[in-house]
Structure 1
Amino acid sequence: MKVVFIGGLGRSGTTLLERLLGQLPGVMPLGEITHLWERDLRGNEMCACGATFSHCEFWERVGNSAFGSWEAVDVERINALKATIDRTRHIPALASKKLAPAQHQLVSEYAGYFEKIYTAAAKDTNARLIVDSSKHASLAYCLRWSPNIDLRVMHVVRDARGVAYSWTKQVRRPESPTGDQMTRYSPAKAAILWNAQNAAFSLLARRGVPVRRVRYERIIQRPRKVIASLARFCDLDLVETDLNFIGDGWADLGPSHSAAGNPMRFTVGRIPIRSDEAWTEDMPDGTRRMVSTLTRPLLGRYGYLNEDEILPEEQPLQTGRTAGGE
């Protein structure tokens, strides 16, 4: 089963990338499957199609095909497995060349739940490629151990200062029946998480997983070119008209069944594609310097020169499909 995992820290443009990829023929975006168990199975939150999870015909078919029914899924068991292996602190062990037998069994069981969903969704839609935008590096490390998943990773990076600023915003989760707000982080915590997640994906590329790094700014500036390049990375054969949904500063998005993620997943129709650079004016100077200091090594590596400007010439997208593909 061919799966593209979109990774990176939230507020980096991952949902936009998922939506754009999801318009390509043969591609089925599923949203952030890591949250499906709690938010959808337990919380019965809203699918991107507008129906609650329990009333979405697509997800009902997927559950029946994957597990017999969603009622057969032991969410407590999945949560226990997640707490045991799917955490950033476990990445060093998951990155090893060989897992201890007991750990391998747990990782295989955990990844198996995701594999069943991917397979059922692909079968239901005749998709050649499944997109999971779960973002968390530790889950990608778990999935790499599944022999039945042909895993490709798209590592999305954005200027750490823009990410940190975005995490301070209050954003309502429209799919939540209680009107919950999306998680917020302080700039310092966002910077630390930015370092951890991005460094983890760099290591993953050296463990034999095909990883393509793409900058948020590049997606905004040249979306058509980026999507065409990423399609080649996924071995998708496109014709020029397959990209006609992307224009100059806009994209036409159709409905989807994204199970969880940014509120943008509910948007259907023509959307503007423009850079969100509010942080350059609204972020206090002291906060900007603090985030810059905490993230400086990777800021330089990814082409963000200093706290006042970003590199105008975009580094080329990575094309290697071997370890160290960045």
Structure 2
Amino acid sequence: MTHPSTAARVVFLGGLGRSGTTLLERLLGELPGVAPLGEVVHLWARGVLGAEPCGCGEPFPDCPFWREVGERAFGGWTESLATGLLDLRQRVDRTRRVLRVRHPDLAAYVRAYRRVYDAAAETAGARVVVDSSKHASLAHCLAAGGVPVHVVHVVRDPRAVAHSWRRTVARPEDGRPMTRWGPARTALHWSAQNLALDLLARRGAQVTRLRYEDLVTDPHATLTALAQRLGLPAALPFVTGSTARLTTAHTASGNPMRFTVGPVGLALDESWRSGPHRGLVAALTWPLRRRYGYRGVTA
């Protein structure tokens, strides 16, 4: 087993799914010295065991980037490694544990992620890796386990998030429909994840909040400010007006957008405003919604 010689800086994107974390990861991944990894929390099941494709299009076991990462971190990817990490996740990495992040196996669980991050940085020749796993519980585990992680807390209007979760979207990996949630369930999960990330900030972790709406309406200014906050290069030649140009990224799992290459238009999706459940979601997410600047009930 080859151990990486340097420790990577880790940027963790947190928030509920359908909030724009994959878009933000792809944009950050265009900055020099930054390696986007996708949702590392799903690497074990979907990559190692499921052999789903990397963002480059190659099946995970055949991707040269991830093959080298596995060799550097663990001497290679194995079924026993993946099943062991999935078992650890069930015992350690749970949202209900964020109020008291203590477990005898926490160190072993976090150590595996640390090895992946460091090996990926060395393989990519990068100083910073981006993990868009989103789950607040994993962010708490990493912080409690001593990983110097900077969490970017991505929020989006819960009415837009709920509208997105109701849509039928095919997974590009296998054509099966992605998970769908009803508005009440989405509202509860939106509140739980965002409250858990707020708690992480109160515990002294590095947390920077970013609104999805700000990112897509003024991408250059928003991304520049975030890059400066993260200590990353702030030149953005890949962003012109409301268009970003994306290159291939080695992302292990995530939203279908991880496969997108070429020009991408950045614009607000306002279709949620005519949705039937926006009043219900607004009521269930108040007052946290107002705290993040999302006012009104149906407007």
Q: Same fold (TM over 0.5)?
A: yes
Partner Cα distance (1:236, 1:54) in 2: 31
Q: Provide the residue aligned with 2:107 in structure 1.
A: 108
TM-score (norm 2): 0.95
Return the match for 1:299 from 269, 289, 293: 289
Partner Cα distance (1:42, 1:124) in 2: 22
1:250-269 pair list within 5 angstroms: 250-269=243-262
Q: Are residue 64 (structure 1) and residue 71 (structure 2) matched?
A: yes
Q: Are residue 188 (structure 1) and residue 188 (structure 2) matched?
A: no
Q: Secondary structure at the match of 1:92?
A: coil
What is the CA distance between 1:226 and its match in structure 2?
A: 1.3
**Cα distance 1:73–1:243, how it changes in 2: closer, same or farther (>3 A)?**
farther
1:151-300 pair list within 5 angstroms: 151-176=149-174, 179-238=175-234, 242-281=235-274, 283-284=275-276, 287-300=277-290
CA offsets 1:40-66 (integer angstroms, 9 cap, x no match):
111100111010001100000000000
How many aligned residue pairs are there? 292
**Cα distance 1:116–1:73, how it changes in 2: closer, same or farther (>3 A)?**
farther
Q: Secondary structure at the match of 2:130?
A: strand
1:66-105 pair list within 5 angstroms: 66-71=73-78, 73-94=80-101, 99=102, 103=103, 105=104
Partner Cα distance (1:267, 1:60) in 2: 22
Unaligned regions of 5+ residues in structure 1, if any? 310-326
Q: Secondary structure at the match of 1:172?
A: coil
Partner Cα distance (1:22, 1:236) in 2: 11
Q: What is the root-mean-square deviation in Å for CA atoms of aligned residues?
A: 1.1
Counterpart code for 2:281:
V
Partner Cα distance (1:167, 1:60) in 2: 33
Partner Cα distance (1:124, 1:236) in 2: 19
TM-score (norm 1): 0.87
Partner Cα distance (2:75, 2:92) in 1: 26
What is the CA distance between 1:180 and its match in structure 2?
A: 1.7
What is the CA distance between 1:72 and its match in structure 2?
A: 6.9
Unaligned regions of 5+ residues in structure 2, if any? 1-7
Asked whether the 8 Å contact 1:8–1:137 carries over to 2, the reply is yes
Counterpart code for 2:63:
C
What is the CA distance between 1:74 and its match in structure 2?
A: 2.0
Partner Cα distance (2:187, 2:178) in 1: 18
Asked whether the 8 Å contact 1:16–1:264 carries over to 2, the reply is yes
Partner Cα distance (1:72, 1:80) in 2: 12
Asked whether the 8 Å contact 1:67–1:73 carries over to 2, the reply is no
What is the CA distance between 1:77 and its match in structure 2?
A: 1.7
